Structure 1
Amino acid sequence: MAAQAVEPGRWQVGFVGAGRMAEAIAQGLIRAGKVEARHVLVSAPTDRNLCHFRALGCRTTHSNREVLESCLLVFFATKPHILPAVLAEVAPVVTSKHILVSVAAGVPLSTLEELLPPASRVLRVSPNLPCVVQEGAMVLSRGRHAGSSEVELVQTLLEACGQCEEVPEAQVDVHTGLSGSGVAFVSLFSEALADGAVKMGMPSCLAHRIAAQTLLGTAKMLLQKGQHPAQLRADVCTPGGTTIYGLHALEQGGLRAAAMSAVEAAACRAKELSRK
């Protein structure tokens, strides 16, 4: 199934699970015109979250099997401990035409393939929370029976929600430490920057807005110009100026080592949870 076959309005896209990440991906696909809302079918055991999808114009159901029977591309967005039971439920209706994408954290491809029919085309995607605003950082890994066309298809769709890169599955846990947990790390840094401005007399609301905008603008410059962060940092520093004094204070506080240790700790914990 070639990626260029993706045309708005022609695809039936399914979601098993109706949580925040499923909603974020569905919103991105619909807003980008990758698929029409009426061609999206979402299942969940209760109506609690399905109302959000109905507001988008999607179809909903309480039957997971109905999603597989109606859609060839299906995202599994359940909680990790629920996913094995869900896969066992839908396995009888999975065909060779299906492309199955798991966004459940910590569930390896080997488990997915073990619980689904032989030769199922399976991919694993690790998204992060900014997918909610279509600025996510995602990685995907292919199963043994998923080829380049399936990878290209899923990447083409998910780019509506942010950046999506293919990686070996061994790097998924590293991505969790860097980008999944990184949202919290960056939020903490933004809060600290704003607190510094508040200490110097700036109103809190203004300080937090400027700190957040500074992070946004810096990220765009790094992505759009393709610069190494060290180059952008050097561009801001002038001899004897304000920035080099501030950087010296950050180095004295161990910011660089602390950030590296935070990613390492989160990635190691992700590996532990995957093994469990």
Structure 2
Amino acid sequence: MKIGFIGCGNMATAMIRGILDSKKVTAGEMIASAKSDATREKISRELGICVAGTNSEVVDFADVIFLAVKPQYYEEVIAEIREEIRQDQIIVTIAPGKTLHWLAERLGEDKKIIRTMPNTPAMVKEGMMGMCKNELVTEEEMQQVKEICESFGKAEVVPESLIDVVVGVSGSSPAYVFMFIEAMADAAVADGMPRAQAYKFAAQAVLGSAKMVLETGMHPGALKDMVCSPGGTTIEAVRVLEEKGMRSAVIEASKACVKKGREM
């Protein structure tokens, strides 16, 4: 299977690195296009894959084509490559708001399309991706693409109605988590801890807590209760977080994110 990327920014680069490290395909079986000469040179130098001077070259080369440009460029790029896409190729999108219907209208009703929503932890092979497909993509093809995407994290097939929810809960949420880590570190610095050390303590606490949720299968509320001793320090901190509206702020932020995604 030959894989192509139209666009090679941070997200695409992370995905390509993961795929190469998995050994599912070789560097010679991958190609990417980019607008600038500098980016193309960087792709060749750092990733060792084939470099395309035009998006059409990616379409000519690949069996699976990832559209990895920003959402505002989708219309332009699709118009450029539409007539060159074959019916046996699979188009994989990573943009919020671009529905399977919207994509089929522009790519053609006879094209195989998979819609995905990755996130930036793919850069450290801990990404989370939601995926859905149109009726022309077979289950076997979907599984093949899913396995490719699991090279840089975890992937789950969801109904298209939940893809925008994926944007809120995992696509954009790393930003919320980074803000939380930064805030905890700021508090530690205020109490005298060196900043680099504060980031390490805060980030490791988040990493370990997330791992507990995933590996124990326990409800997050139950895990929280395990830390909250009667009359202790943790329940006092939880009381203040509740008083300041932490849960409501996170819920409203995520809902705003989903709403924006649906409007794009």
Q: What residue number does 1:203 align with?
A: 194
Residue in structure 1 matching 2:16, options 26, 43, 47: 26
142-151 vs 54-63, which deviates more?
142-151
Identity %: 37
Tell me the distance in 2 between the aligned counterparts of 1:48 and 1:107: 29
TM-score between the two structures when normalised by the length of structure 2: 0.94
Q: What residue number does 1:259 align with?
A: 250
Does residue 52 of structure 1 match 2:31?
no
173-182 vs 208-217, which deviates more?
173-182
237-246 vs 254-263, which deviates more?
237-246
Q: What residue number does 2:25 align with?
A: 35
Q: What residue number does 2:120 align with?
A: 129
| 1:189-210, Cα deviation, whole Å (9 max, x unpaired) | 1111112222222222211111
Tell me the distance in 1 between the aligned counterparts of 2:51 and 2:140: 28
Tell me the distance in 1 between the aligned counterparts of 2:133 and 2:249: 33
**Change in 2 beyond 3 A, CA 1:261/1:117:** closer
Q: What residue number does 1:218 align with?
A: 209
Q: Post-superposition shift, 1:27?
A: 0.6
Q: Post-superposition shift, 1:75?
A: 0.6
Tell me the distance in 2 between the aligned counterparts of 1:51 and 1:154: 27
3-state SS of 1:81 partner: helix
3-state SS of 1:41 partner: strand
Alpha carbons 2:96, 2:262 under 8 Å: kept:
no
3-state SS of 1:158 partner: helix
Q: What residue number does 2:135 align with?
A: 144
Alpha carbons 1:46, 1:62 under 8 Å: kept:
no
| 1:1-23, Cα deviation, whole Å (9 max, x unpaired) | xxxxxxxxxx2111111111111
Q: Which runs of 5+ in 2 are unaligned?
A: none
Residue in structure 2 matching 1:176, options 167, 182, 197: 167
Q: What residue number does 1:162 align with?
A: 153
| 1:154-184, Cα deviation, whole Å (9 max, x unpaired) | 1111111112111122222222122222111
Alpha carbons 1:17, 1:76 under 8 Å: kept:
yes
Q: Post-superposition shift, 1:48?
A: 2.7
| 1:3-61, Cα deviation, whole Å (9 max, x unpaired) | xxxxxxxx211111111111111011011222111211111232232233212110101
Q: Post-superposition shift, 1:84?
A: 2.0
Tell me the distance in 1 between the aligned counterparts of 2:139 and 2:93: 17
> What is the root-mean-square deviation in Å for CA atoms of aligned residues?
1.5
Q: Post-superposition shift, 1:261?
A: 1.1
| 1:96-142, Cα deviation, whole Å (9 max, x unpaired) | 22111011232221121112233211001111111122111111111
22-31 vs 192-201, which deviates more?
192-201
